[in-house]
Structure 1
Amino acid sequence: MSEPSVSAASIRLPWRAGVGLKAEHYRVVLDTRPEVGFFEVHAENYMGAGGPPHRYLSAIRDAYPLSIHGVGLSIGADRPLDAAHLGRLKALVTRYAPGLVSEHLAWSSHDAGFLNDLLPLPYTRETLARVVEHLDEVQETLGRQVLLENPSTYVAFCESTYSETDFIAEIARRSGCGLLLDINNVYVACTNQRWDPTRYLDAFPLAAVRQIHLAGHADDADEQGRPLLIDTHDRAVAAVVWDLFARAVRRTGPVPALIEWDAAVPAWPILKAQAERADAILQASLPPVPQASRQSSRLAAMARG
C-alpha cells in the first residue's frame, strides 16, 4: 500500500453522502470499492507516525476523497491552544490533503489536563473573542479554512448573551471559518433546551454551511421526566433527523453529508444503506434541469454517438 506524498492535492468532496471510516471496514472498503462519496476520519486516531492505520488510510485516500474531523483542539478553552496537538494536526492535513477539515464548538482542556468530552460554552463576548482568536490561529497554521460544528448540549448558561445561532453566525463572520451543520446535534440540543428545531434551522447561518453530519441518538428522561436526548452515535439516524436534514438541504442546496456511527459499529451494508438514503435526499435538493438543457444534452450525446 502506497502513502500519498506531502504534495498530494486536496480533492474536493462531492455533493454526496460519505461515511465515517472505521477500522472494522478497512478491508471491505478496499476489497469491494463501494460507491460512496467520501470517507471521514477523526484526526486524533491518525496522529501516530505510521503503522497499519496509516497504511490502510493511505490506500483508501488513493481511491476516495477524504475529510478530517478533529475532536481534541479544544477551540473554546480558556487557555492557549496546544501547540503540539496543532502541529500534529498540521502534519496530518499535509500528509493526506483532505477536502475538508473540521472541529467542534466546545472545550475539553484545562490546566490540570484533558477531558475526554466535548463540553459546552457560555455564549458571551469574551467567549466569542476567544473562539475567533483560536480559529484564526488554526486556519493560519493549516493555511486553509476550517469548519466549526454546532454542539449537542444538555445545559444552558445563564450568563449567555447570544442565542446559539447568533453566536455561531458571528464566529463565522469574524473568523471566515465555514460551518459543519450537525443535524442530529440540532435535534438533541433543541429537545434538551426546549427550543424549536425548525426555528433553529431557519435562524442558522446556512450560507456558511460546507458540510452536514447525520447520526443517531438515545432517548432518555431527566429527573423531572422530561425528554433528554443523548448524542450517542451508536444507532441509525432517527426519522425526525432525516426530516430536518431534508428541510436544511432545501435551503443550502446539496453539500457533502456524512453518516457518523462511532460506537456499536454495524456491518458495512447498514452504513451503506444510511448513506444511500442521505444521497437520495441530497439528489432531491438539486434544482430541476431546464428542458432546453436536457435537450442540448441529448443532442450532444447523439453527436458523440
Structure 2
Amino acid sequence: MLDFPRLATDNRLPPRTGLGLKSEHVCEVLQSRPDLGFFEVHAENYMVAGGPRHHFLGQIREQYPLSLHGVGLSIGGEGPLDVAHLQRLAVLIERYQPQSFSEHLAWSSHGPAFLNDLLPLAYDEATLARVCEHVDQVQSRLKRTLLLENPATYLAFEASTLDEPQFIGEVVRRTGCGLLLDVNNVYVSCINHSRDPLAYLDALPLQATGEIHLAGFAEDTDSLGERLLIDDHGAPIDHEVWQLYLKALERTGPVATLIERDNHIPALAVLLAEARQADRLLNNAGARS
C-alpha cells in the first residue's frame, strides 16, 4: 500500500447535504445563496481552460465547499489509465481545491474508444490487482485520497471469485482510498441481483466512508418478468432508499451527503426540500453519536 495520508478532518466536506450544480439553477443559487453544505460537479464538464461554466463555478467555489466527481477515469479498465485525462484532473483540482474527489468502480473505455456508460467488473484477483494499481496511480498523481464509489449493476460475471463488498474492502485496505457510499446504488444492485441490501451494506468498509450519494431510480422488468431497477438519477429519492440511508447513518454517523439529479431536473426548490430532509436525518444521526 502507498504511504499516503488520508485527508485531514478539517479539509473534508462538512457533514451536511449538498446538491449537484446544474446550469438550470446556477444563477438562482448565486442570487439566493441557499443554505447547503456543498455543491458537486462532474469533472469532465470542466476540462477546458475557460468559458461560462468556469466563470460560474469560480463564484460558487468562493461561497461553498466543492466536491469533484469523475466519470471518465475508467478505474476498472483493462488498459492503462489515460495519463492525459489524469493530467487534466490534476489541473482542475489545483484550480479549485475541492474538499473531495471521487470516481466509480467501473470501466468506460477500451483502447481509444470511450463508452458512454459505467460498466461492471469481474471481481477476481487479477482485477483487484489492476484496480489497486490504478487507484495508487491516481492518488499519487493527485496527491489526495480518492473516494471510490460502489456501482449500480444489472449483470454479474460468473468468473467472479469475490463478492462486491469484499472486493471494495480489499481495494480500500490495500490502497488507503476512501469509500463513496452510493445508497441508491446499493439498493438498485441488490434488488437486481436478489441480494439483501442491509447485509450488503454491513459487508462494506463503512469506516472509510467520506461521502454518501442519494438518488432516484427508474423501474422496469427484465426478460423473465422480474423487477429491474435502473440508476437513472431522474426521479425523487425512493422511500426504501431513504430507509436504507437511515441504516447507513446508524453505522457511519453524519457524513456529507449529495442529492443527485441528472435527468428530468426539477425546480431548485424541489431539490432543496430533499436536501432539508437529508439534513434532518444527518442532524439526528449527529445527536445520537
Task: Give me the TM-score of the superposition, normalised by structure 1.
Answer: 0.90
SS state at 1:23 partner: coil
After TM superposition, the structure 1 = structure 2 runs for residues 207-222 of structure 1, keeping only pairs within 5 Å, are 207-222=207-222
Q: 1:160-196 deviations in whole A, cap 9, x for unaligned?
A: 0001100000000001100000000000000001101
Task: Name 1:57's counterpart in structure 2.
Answer: 57
Residue 87 of structure 2 aligns with an amino acid whose one-letter code is G
Structure-2 change in CA distance of 1:31 and 1:11 (3 Å): farther
Count of matched residue positions in the alignment of Structure 1 and Structure 2: 280
Task: Name 1:293's counterpart in structure 2.
Answer: none
Structure-2 change in CA distance of 1:126 and 1:288 (3 Å): closer
Q: 1:45-91 deviations in whole A, cap 9, x for unaligned?
A: 00110010001000000000000000000000000000110000000
Q: CA deviation at 1:202?
A: 1.4
SS state at 2:103 partner: strand
For 1:181 and 1:13, how far apart are their aligned partners in 2? 14
SS state at 2:61 partner: helix
Residue 78 of structure 1 aligns with an amino acid whose one-letter code is E
Structure-2 change in CA distance of 1:194 and 1:288 (3 Å): closer
Q: CA deviation at 1:287?
A: 3.7
For 1:166 and 1:11, how far apart are their aligned partners in 2? 28
The unaligned stretches of length 5 or more in structure 2 are 1-9
Does structure 2 retain, via aligned residues, the 8 Å contact 1:11–1:66? no
Q: CA deviation at 1:204?
A: 1.3
User: Does residue 165 of the first structure (1) align with residue 171 of the second (2)?
Assistant: no
Task: Name 1:98's counterpart in structure 2.
Answer: 98
Q: CA deviation at 1:11?
A: 5.1
For 1:189 and 1:88, how far apart are their aligned partners in 2? 31
For 2:135 and 2:274, how far apart are their aligned partners in 1? 32
Task: Name 1:294's counterpart in structure 2.
Answer: none
User: Sequence identity of aligned pairs in percent?
Assistant: 58
- Once superposed, what is the RMSD of the aligned Cα atoms? 1.0
For 2:226 and 2:114, how far apart are their aligned partners in 1? 31
Residue 122 of structure 1 aligns with an amino acid whose one-letter code is A
Structure-2 change in CA distance of 1:32 and 1:174 (3 Å): same
Q: CA deviation at 1:12?
A: 3.0
For 1:60 and 1:12, how far apart are their aligned partners in 2? 17
Q: CA deviation at 1:224?
A: 1.0
The unaligned stretches of length 5 or more in structure 1 are 1-9, 290-305
SS state at 1:24 partner: coil
Task: Name 2:252's counterpart in structure 1.
Answer: 252
Q: CA deviation at 1:288?
A: 4.5
Task: Name 2:139's counterpart in structure 1.
Answer: 139
For 2:81 and 2:111, how far apart are their aligned partners in 1? 12
After TM superposition, the structure 1 = structure 2 runs for residues 105-254 of structure 1, keeping only pairs within 5 Å, are 105-254=105-254
Q: CA deviation at 1:23?
A: 0.6
For 1:191 and 1:61, how far apart are their aligned partners in 2? 37
Task: Name 1:86's counterpart in structure 2.
Answer: 86
Residue 67 of structure 1 aligns with an amino acid whose one-letter code is S
Structure-2 change in CA distance of 1:63 and 1:112 (3 Å): closer
Task: Give me the TM-score of the superposition, normalised by structure 2.
Answer: 0.95
Does structure 2 retain, via aligned residues, the 8 Å contact 1:11–1:97? no
Residue 19 of structure 2 aligns with an amino acid whose one-letter code is V
Q: CA deviation at 1:93?
A: 0.5
Q: CA deviation at 1:149?
A: 0.1
Structure number with greater Rg is 1
For 1:34 and 1:116, how far apart are their aligned partners in 2? 33
Q: CA deviation at 1:264?
A: 1.1
Q: CA deviation at 1:223?
A: 1.1
Structure-2 change in CA distance of 1:11 and 1:53 (3 Å): farther
Residue 83 of structure 2 aligns with an amino acid whose one-letter code is A
For 1:205 and 1:65, how far apart are their aligned partners in 2? 25
SS state at 1:210 partner: strand
Does structure 2 retain, via aligned residues, the 8 Å contact 1:11–1:65? no
Residue 45 of structure 2 aligns with an amino acid whose one-letter code is N
After TM superposition, the structure 1 = structure 2 runs for residues 19-38 of structure 1, keeping only pairs within 5 Å, are 19-38=19-38
For 2:82 and 2:224, how far apart are their aligned partners in 1? 40
User: Does residue 70 of the first structure (1) align with residue 70 of the second (2)?
Assistant: yes
